[in-house]
Structure 1
Amino acid sequence: MGSGGEREMFQERADDAGVIIAVLSSNFIHSRTCQQQLYYCEQRKKVVPLLMEDAQIPSWLELMLHSNTYTCVNRRDYREHLPTLLQKLLDPKARQSPNSELDEARISYAVKQLKKLLKSHLCVYVCGPTLSDSIDTQVVRALGSALCEFDDVTVVTGGGYNTEYLVSHAFLEEAQQKLRPHRVWHVLPEREQEDRTVDYPQNSDRTFQVIAFGQTYFCGNSLEERDLVVSKAIEICLLIIGDADLKSVKLAQKFSWNDHYVIPFVINKNTDSSFTEQLSQGISTEDCLALNNTDQSVEARASVFHDILTRILDNLEMEHKEEASQDIVMSPPQKLPRKSPAKSGGAGTTKTSLKSVNTIIL
């Protein structure tokens, strides 16, 4: 955001404004300044995103603004639409519907409920490309076996006909053979207005079916809302990379934005793995390169995957301990037990003052 003086000037002007217009050009969207300024404004003001023709909206921006309604400059009526929208937002007699707040509360509740279901030592969300003949099933089985080696594991998928289906099924078969009490959950929305029958077990009324194996949890009114819930609730995402599949990459970016771990895994030798380091979150460059070295044997790559998960579990254990210690520090003091009042004239009669108890006045 520049120097301290420039930052203060920007913040003063933002504080004085009734509405913020964010002019989203391609260069600005990918700058650190964009993230800093939009974060400051979104916490305090109504933000109207004005999208330039060549700009693509990244996942972090959609999550931050909680909106898919961007005013695009290539719309024919944008010059008429923008002033009308600003007038509506600035009119003191107009009251806006609290839909965004209600949506956020609903998603937060779904996140809380999903976390209750997924109380495992290790919980991994698996997402990947659409199934094809080029998928190496040997690698899929190796991933399932590596996950099965841990104690108390839950594998979560989005319930689609994707690579995640194969991995979760292989994992569950391995667990049943080894008599391990592992679980598989599939998370699907209540409904999706678009026809997604090619990718998901969707009914004619746009609702979804229960998956044949594992357990199914329904949350959200769209696949987009479902993605918001899982990216907030689950701390580890295994992103399987096959052919070009932007939907899975976009979902993995949501996990990164929530400061969760993302493990990119290239499944086929003919897939470009040069960009995997950019998609990874919370794992070292060395681990990412070793994991996606397709010249190695399947067993060697599965071993690297197991080691990465072990280190992530160690990190999560430390993070959770730190959070627990902070909760103890921030928790309200226990009420002091009342003593029975001393009889009149007794030596135990004292006048209670603020100095006689450990009190902080805020």
Structure 2
Amino acid sequence: MASPLKGVAAIADVDWPVNSNQEMCIRASHVVDHDNLVTIQTAVDECRIGIMSTDKKPLGFIFAKITLLLSETRREINQQLKGAKLAAFTFLDHNCWPVFTFQEERLTIADIITQQIIYIQFQAPDNSSVAVAIPHSNDTPIKNKDFNALTSAADSIRSHRLFHPAVANLQNRSKAIAVKDNSEKEILISYVRAEAALHALSLKEEFEKLGFSVYLDVHEIKCGVDWQDSLNDAVSSCEVFVPLVTPRYGKTQWTNREIKLADVLGKYVVPVNFLSDWPPACLAIQFATTQFVPWKTTENILKDGNKDDISYWDKVYVVGVAQQIGELCRRSISLSDSTETFDDESSDTQLQKRISMIRSCPLQLFGNASSPMASQEPRDGKPLIILSCHPTQDNIANEIKNCLEEEGYEIVLTSELMADLYKTVNEPAKKKLRSNKRAKISQKTELTEKATKRMRIEFQRITDEACMVIFLLSQAFATSRLCQQQVYYCEHRKRFIPLKAEEFAMPGWLSMLIGTAPLEDVQRKDYKQTLVARVRQTFNREDNLLNDADISLKSYLLRETLPRSDPCVYISGGTKFYSKNTEAICKSIGACLADFDNLSLITGGFYGVGDVLGRSFYNKRITSKKEPLVYHVLPVRDEQDRSLQARQNSDKTFMDVPFGSTIFAGDNVREREIIVSKAISICILIEGGPGAAHEAEQFCWNDHTVIPIKVTGGAAGGKFNVPQQIFEVINLSL
């Protein structure tokens, strides 16, 4: 039956609107509540929008369209709230960043509204602003050096205390302009939005029915509160940390960091396991001694069928999990003291609390470990360094060990540590098995699992005592599951130095975790002297922290440089065409995307897919007399010869792309890829080699969307260890 309602929108049971573009991806079960009802609302021309000052003073409300430009909104506020006699004011966005006058022509109410409220800040009597304006005009096209100009403004931004996550790592944010909600919550729920957002909301509801206070980011992070600070404070102040361990948990940047911070601060961690195997590969060392609560019992999974489908969590199971965790919380939340334990048999009656010892090394995750639960006792004796390597590289590892021991360091080789542990755990039991002719094969498997668990626990313990980790990278290291777990555990927890033992194709996950840290090549004759110098410097510097803050700041500046259009799409792919159809397909896609009025196209400035698709987009926009909206993000330079891939000068710097606008961001291609993946939320991947696979990995790491388009294969076809979750979102085969 035809509906007389205009602009009908289905609303899920969490009150999230579902627009027409999303309806093809949403099941009926997602919008039906427990009473088998579907809630709809009509789209109205104007909304009632509240106006509130930063001191939480309500000033009234206005009627306006959600798409109204802020410049016009200012006029509506002054006209509809005449009685309030408002002084000069500045709009604030969700992060409490001020919106300057020249930006009001580019932003709408939808860009800054928070829970039907617009927040404004009145100007000081001297008309000074609390933050520095970024020099960019809507009327002037972006020049190729604008990004560097923005970067040079970073010092001014810091001096004005701009409330920004990257700058916050370099200064004390406790005195920033935003007002924080410091209320402590007993339980914090951590989850991957794309997989468990509804599950987190349902679990919170049940926890609150049991009388617990619960922190959930979607409800707690409000205007005036920085999301990174808020999560940091929430993890630090909660009593129980509940991660919803779905397939991607730990494989996105912030879930990975949240669980590490919770562990370092000694929180009670109670995972809800949605996986068929435990522990998850990327958190195997992290969860070596952690008991979990299954999202369903084995009987329930067999009864319901399709054990891999975690999209729907029946209420009866949510209630059961909440009650089980609630009982554990009641028994453990009142405990004030806990001892570190590595026993294989852990108690099932109360939570186990493991306090990580941060010795001789400050916490890298958020700059410090101020919580009293994070012990920072100095380590007795020589500074301890972990040398993580594959057994096939023991010869080189021993050379490095001898070199550093001569400099006064204590070195532990993981290959030797694991071999000794395996022998200690398995040999006595093997003798017993040999004497028992009726022993089953499954018992041997259990012995191996026991040895593996012991290895993880011991690596966890020894790493917590270490001040630094050195990774000796090789092909064998990159393909080793145990080595991968070690890198995941140490990343952002400890300072590290990567060494390259041989030439090999570095997989995306490894490149992603190591980041932009320079690789020392052991094939160089003077590598030992360089390594010793870097080890000494690392003890007294915050390279990892500053580098992470620098990358975040550059990503923020890139977002501010790019137009605020929706959507903003990045094109990734090969620099050469391996199919006669690929070039024609790229041209067709570029022309189709050009039909979207507000879509901005971003490329990496290289030949091949990005160049052809971008030029097709550009030409179609010019022909249609529309603003081109094509931008190319290139690094300032790259030491590698990329003259066959891009327009690179003889001094290794890059030229402007002859069409569209060129922006320079990052000191090399690798850093550029990280910056782009943080700044842009959608990536279209067409074919591509290892470099394109790495870009896709970075987008997934930041919990952003990658749309693969298969042509002849390559990264978009699943090669080069590209993340498989990109095919779970959408897969276009041409």
TM-score w.r.t. the length of structure 1 is 0.64
| CA spacing shift, 1:26–1:154, aligned 2, 3 Å | same
Contact 1:158 1:187 in 2 (8 A): yes
Match of 2:493 among 33, 44, 48: 44
Contact 1:122 1:151 in 2 (8 A): no
1:42 alignment partner AA: E
Q: How does 1:204-243 map to 2 (within 5 A)?
A: 204-241=650-687
Please give the alpha-carbon distance, in whole angstroms, between the structure 1 residues aligned to 2:469 and 2:605. Answer: 39
Please give the alpha-carbon distance, in whole angstroms, between the structure 1 residues aligned to 2:587 and 2:679. Answer: 26
* Residue deviations 1:95-130 (CA, integer Å, cap 9, x gap): 545444444333222211111133221111112222
Q: How does 1:1-362 map to 2 (within 5 A)?
A: 1=284, 3-4=288-289, 5=342, 6=454, 9-22=458-471, 24=473, 26=475, 29-30=478-479, 33-49=482-498, 53=502, 56-66=505-515, 67-70=517-520, 72=522, 75=523, 81=528, 85=531, 89=535, 96-118=540-562, 119-132=564-577, 134-181=580-627, 183-241=629-687, 245-268=689-712, 275=718, 279=722, 283-285=726-728, 287-288=730-731, 291-292=732-733, 294=734
SS of residue in 1 equivalent to 2:662 = strand
SS of residue in 2 equivalent to 1:202 = coil
Q: Which has the larger radius of gyration?
A: 2
| CA spacing shift, 1:12–1:201, aligned 2, 3 Å | same
Contact 2:693 2:720 in 1 (8 A): no
Contact 2:512 2:697 in 1 (8 A): no
2:572 alignment partner AA: C
| CA spacing shift, 1:265–1:232, aligned 2, 3 Å | same
Which of 145-154 and 212-221 deviates more?
145-154
| CA spacing shift, 1:214–1:220, aligned 2, 3 Å | same
Structure 1 runs of 4+ with >6 Å offset? 270-273
Q: CA deviation at 1:183?
A: 0.8
SS of residue in 2 equivalent to 1:279 = coil
Contact 2:590 2:617 in 1 (8 A): yes
1:172 alignment partner AA: Y
Contact 2:603 2:611 in 1 (8 A): yes
Please give the alpha-carbon distance, in whole angstroms, between the structure 1 residues aligned to 2:460 and 2:568. Answer: 40
Q: CA deviation at 1:238?
A: 1.4
Contact 1:153 1:182 in 2 (8 A): no
Q: CA deviation at 1:276?
A: 6.3
Q: Which has the higher contact order (CA 8 A, sep 6+)?
A: 1
SS of residue in 2 equivalent to 1:156 = strand
Please give the alpha-carbon distance, in whole angstroms, between the structure 2 residues aligned to 1:135 and 1:230. Answer: 28
* Residue deviations 1:301-355 (CA, integer Å, cap 9, x gap): xxxxxxxxxxxxxxxxxxxxxxxxxxxxxxxxxxxxxxxxxxxxxxxxxxxxxxx
Structure with greater helix share of residues = 1
Please give the alpha-carbon distance, in whole angstroms, between the structure 2 residues aligned to 1:152 and 1:126. Answer: 16
Please give the alpha-carbon distance, in whole angstroms, between the structure 2 residues aligned to 1:68 and 1:142. Answer: 40
2:573 alignment partner AA: G
Counting aligned pairs with the same residue, the percent is: 33
Please give the alpha-carbon distance, in whole angstroms, between the structure 2 residues aligned to 1:183 and 1:219. Answer: 18
1:11 alignment partner AA: Q
| CA spacing shift, 1:28–1:231, aligned 2, 3 Å | same
SS of residue in 1 equivalent to 2:587 = helix
Contact 1:20 1:48 in 2 (8 A): yes
2:570 alignment partner AA: Y
Contact 2:656 2:662 in 1 (8 A): yes
Please give the alpha-carbon distance, in whole angstroms, between the structure 1 residues aligned to 2:620 and 2:538. Answer: 59
| CA spacing shift, 1:31–1:94, aligned 2, 3 Å | closer
SS of residue in 2 equivalent to 1:206 = coil
Which stretches in structure 2 are left out of the alignment for 5+ residues?
1-283, 290-341, 343-453
Please give the alpha-carbon distance, in whole angstroms, between the structure 2 residues aligned to 1:273 and 1:207. Answer: 29
* Residue deviations 1:262-286 (CA, integer Å, cap 9, x gap): 2222345x98975369636655548
| CA spacing shift, 1:151–1:33, aligned 2, 3 Å | farther
Contact 1:23 1:50 in 2 (8 A): yes
Contact 2:475 2:505 in 1 (8 A): yes
| CA spacing shift, 1:224–1:179, aligned 2, 3 Å | same
RMSD value over aligned CA atoms? Answer: 3.7
Please give the alpha-carbon distance, in whole angstroms, between the structure 2 residues aligned to 1:192 and 1:16. Answer: 37
Please give the alpha-carbon distance, in whole angstroms, between the structure 2 residues aligned to 1:272 and 1:24. Answer: 23
Please give the alpha-carbon distance, in whole angstroms, between the structure 1 residues aligned to 2:524 and 2:655. Answer: 41
TM-score w.r.t. the length of structure 2 is 0.34
Contact 2:708 2:727 in 1 (8 A): no
* Residue deviations 1:126-177 (CA, integer Å, cap 9, x gap): 1222245835443122211332343411111111222211101111222233
2:697 alignment partner AA: Q
What's 2:34 paired with?
A: none
